[in-house]
Amino acid sequence: MKDNRKSYVGLRLTAGILLGTAGACAVVVGMLGFGLFALGTWLSLILVCIGVLALALAVWSLLLLAKIEDKLFATGATGEISRRERAQKTLVKAVLYLFLSVLALAMIFPFYWMLISSVKTVEEYNLATPTLWPHEFRWSTYLAAFTGSLNLGRLFLNTVIVGVVSTLLSLVVTVLSAYAFARLEFKGKNMLFAALLATMMIPGELFTITNYITVSRFGWLHTFTVLIVPFLVSVFYIYLLRQNFMQIPNELYLAAKVDGASDLKYLWKVMIPLASPTLISITILKMMGSWNSYIWPRLVANDDLHRLVTVGLRGADFRDTLTQLPDFPLQMAAVVLVTVPLLLVFILFRKYIMRGVSRSGIKG
């Protein structure tokens, strides 16, 4: 009986909290809809009513159900308790999905706003009351963004070159380093690995000045080399892959040595295939990091031949050719063209990223 009551109380509290949170979000969005967004009076009013109803249900779940619960447990109506538990579990699940849906809409709305703004006219974008659906679609904005003075084609090419080359070289360094720390035995291995992990506590921005002085003395400024070489080593990727290598049984390594296999052959034939999810995750994360990098490329390679896409977007002057006013739809179209490749990569390979990270964190 005590276990049933404890479960019942937990369900009641969960339902009340989720209903209250969802109701508060609906009320806030509905109130904002009256003035900030062009949601319309009726839609905003409906959202406010739904929020008030959810808040009322939350109060009912927290207060009135407590009284009913005391009566049921006092009279020993276990069958009624079981039915109410099942009903409340269904309610909790429904409210949970409603709450997650509200959060998903809050996350998706900026992307939706970016997409619809990219096909609006400049006049419609500058209206005092924003519109949630374009009155007139201007698809030529994307062509202008790609072929205009921004020269997105060249920026994409530079970014792809830097991303692919740096990713391949970084994979080589990461695989060899992780294998050495996971399987080879040499003096000071644990101390060296601990020192590498300690460097993760230092913000990368602290190395900017020293790295800049170093590459300038090497004469690497305004070259692809300065965009690739300084970031070939990633302690986080080495740690991630090393933890995955540690999960592979050591008996396989000893059996391979008995058969006369070299360390490189064992690494290529056994370790890399077994750690492929983590390697795929590292590849995707490294490509995304190269694609999104801004501070270092802006500092060391901000010329027309080596400028990356993030730097090009930040420094571009988006203006209407007739009015010379800021052309925000053109800027939004350029941002969409830059964002879509990364979004597609994440959607297609998200399961490999999750699988690789989760497997690297579990030892056994």
The tens digit of pLDDT for each residue in 121-147 reads: 888 887 777 777 888 888 888 888 887
Q: Are residues 95 and 161 in the same domain?
A: no
Q: Answer yes or no: is 262 within a domain.
A: yes
The parent domain of residue 11 ranges over: 2-112
Are 28 and 103 within one domain?
yes
125 in a structural domain: no
Residues 175 and 63 in one domain: no
Residue 73 has a CB neighbour count (10 Å cut-off) of: 16
Same-domain check for residues 170 and 296: yes
Cβ count near 306 (within 10 Å): 21
Q: Are 143 and 204 in contact (CB under 8 A)?
A: no
Residues 93 and 176 in one domain: no
Contact of 311 with 302, CB cutoff 8 Å: yes
Query: Is 103 within a domain?
Result: yes
**φ, ψ (nearest 5 deg) of residue 188:** 75, 15
Whole-Å CA distances, 302 to 84, 154, 221: 66, 13, 9
pLDDT value, residue 164: 92
Do 151 and 53 have their domain in common? no
Residues ≥6 apart with Cβ < 8 Å to 272: 175, 279
Tell me: do 107 and 153 sit in the same domain. no
Do 32 and 70 share a domain, yes or no?
yes
As a whole number of angstroms, the distance between CA 311 and CA 155 comes to 9
User: Which ranges of the chain have pLDDT less than 70?
Assistant: 1-96, 320-324, 353, 355-364
Residue 329 in any domain: the answer is yes
pLDDT at 3: 46
pLDDT of residue 161: 92
Residue 145 near residue 152, CB atoms below 8 Å: yes
> Which pLDDT score, from 0 to 100, does residue 138 have?
83
181 in the same domain as 100: no
Separation CA 170–CA 238 (nearest Å): 10
User: Which residues touch 204 (CB under 8 Å, ≥6 apart)?
Assistant: none
195 and 331 share one domain: yes
* Residue whose token pair is 């300038």: 216
Contact call for residues 307 and 232 (beta carbons, < 8 A): no
Exposure string (b/e) for 101-111, b if CB count within 10 Å is 16 or more?
A: ebeeeeeeeee
At 363 the pLDDT is 44
Asked whether residue 124 is domain-assigned, the answer is: no
Distance between CA 187 and CA 194 in Å, rounded? 13
Query: Does residue 298 sit within a domain?
Result: yes
Contact 212, 300 (CB under 8 A): yes
Distance separating alpha carbons of residues 171 and 158, to the nearest angstrom:
20
Exposure of 63 by Cβ count < 10 A (0-12 exposed, 13-18 middle, 19+ buried)?
Answer: exposed
**Total structural domains in the chain?**
2
51 and 103 share one domain: yes
Neighbouring-strand partners of residue 319: 326
Domain for residue 273, yes or no?
yes
**Would residue 338 count as lying in a domain?**
yes
In this structure, what CATH number is given to the domain that contains residue 166?
1.10.3720.10
Residues 303 and 194 in one domain: yes
Q: For the chain, what is the total number of helices (H) and then of strands (E)?
A: 18, 0
Return the structure tokens found at 327. 């052309």
